[in-house]
């Protein structure tokens, strides 16, 4: 059983074909990163060729929607509309790959004024409702914690979308919690799981020291994995997962971690196959 997806930005697959060949040769199911380059510069024929090679190899795919320089929860309508246009355009690419799921960055930032918190939430709801409307019957959409100081706003956003009948959940990124959200100092992983746990349906797995979002292999940093695995066991739904290494060495360490904890992880994470 393949336990996890592995991240693969499409721009890297085009610029460094050996990355795609590695995935094909080793049976790694990709979570394909779609950015502006992948939408604007890589033609439909290229995407269709890659998608066909993945299908021929029996590899499921998932997609990560664009997030660079985008403000999908902006209180400035021009910025929010630009983000929506980019993300909606990426759906045309995503469809080619028949993804099992999609991941998006919700775009919630620390508001400059108190009233902007409600305005941001309304803007984010408009963005992600538009994404869901643009693809009837879309694969599950998972919104990821990024620079959030607390889990509460993401929990409220996803709860509102789910209450409206949207097939949406949370992608919990332990590395972002540990670094961007100061989890390494606050030691509040239990609080994040208490708030987000009812909505966690996918995981992004990588490690760091807490000083930065280093995307190390699992076990190479300081994330409290024993506590993390214990909290996974209490989730109401077994999530799927994606490894997010940024180097070949980090991938090797993460795959070794999966092998070391294979029996336990198989009971906590829903595999790709």
- Domain covering 5-268 assigned CATH 3.20.20.150 in the classification: yes
> CB of 10 within 8 A of CB of 38?
yes
Express each pLDDT in 219-234 by its tens digit: 999 999 999 999 999 9
Nearest to 93 by CA among 134, 142, 144, 146: 134
Express each pLDDT in 127-161 by its tens digit: 999 999 999 999 999 999 999 999 999 999 999 99
Give the number of other CB atoms < 10 A from CB of residue 251: 20
Does residue 240 carry a pLDDT above 90? Answer: yes
| Residue boundaries of the structural domains of the chain | 5-268
Supply the pLDDT for residue 202.
99
| Distance (Å, whole) CA 93 – CA 138 | 13
Paired residues of 121 in beta bridges: none
* Mean local confidence (pLDDT), 240-246: 98
SS3 170: strand
Does residue 1 carry a pLDDT above 80? Answer: no
> CB of 204 within 8 A of CB of 215?
no
Express each pLDDT in 26-76 by its tens digit: 999 999 999 999 999 999 999 999 999 999 999 999 999 999 999 999 999
Is the whole-model pTM more than 0.95? yes
Express each pLDDT in 163-203 by its tens digit: 999 999 999 999 999 999 999 999 999 999 999 999 999 99
Supply the pLDDT for residue 114.
85
């Amino acid at each position: 059983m393949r336990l996890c997806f592995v991240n693969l930005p499409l721009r890297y697959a085009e610029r460094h074909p050996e990355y795609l060949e590695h995935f094909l040769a080793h049976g790694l199911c990709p979570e394909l990163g779609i950015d502006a380059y992948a939408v604007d510069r890589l033609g439909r024929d290229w995407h269709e060729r890659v998608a066909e090679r993945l299908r021929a190899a029996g590899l499921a795919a998932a997609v990560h929607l664009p997030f660079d320089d985008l403000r999908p929860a902006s209180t400035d309508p021009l910025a929010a509309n630009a983000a929506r246009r980019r993300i909606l355009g990426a759906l045309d690419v995503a469809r080619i790959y028949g993804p099992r799921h999609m991941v998006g960055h919700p775009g919630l930032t620390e508001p400059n004024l108190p009233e902007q918190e409600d305005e941001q939430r309304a803007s984010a709801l408009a963005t992600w409702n538009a994404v869901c409307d643009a693809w009837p019957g879309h694969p599950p959409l998972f919104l990821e914690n990024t620079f959030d100081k607390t889990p509460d706003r993401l929990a409220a956003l996803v709860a509102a979308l789910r209450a409206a009948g949207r097939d949406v959940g949370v992608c919990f990124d332990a590395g972002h919690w540990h670094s961007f959200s100061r989890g390494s100092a606050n030691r509040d992983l239990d609080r994040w799981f208490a708030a987000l746990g009812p909505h966690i349906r996918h995981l992004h797995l990588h490690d760091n020291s807490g000083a930065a979002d280093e995307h190390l292999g699992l076990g190479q940093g300081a994330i409290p994995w024993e506590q993390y695995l214990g909290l996974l066991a209490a989730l109401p739904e077994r999530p799927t997962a994606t490894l997010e290494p940024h180097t070949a060495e980090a991938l090797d360490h993460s795959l070794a971690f999966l092998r070391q904890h294979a029996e336990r992880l198989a009971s906590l994470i829903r595999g790709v196959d």
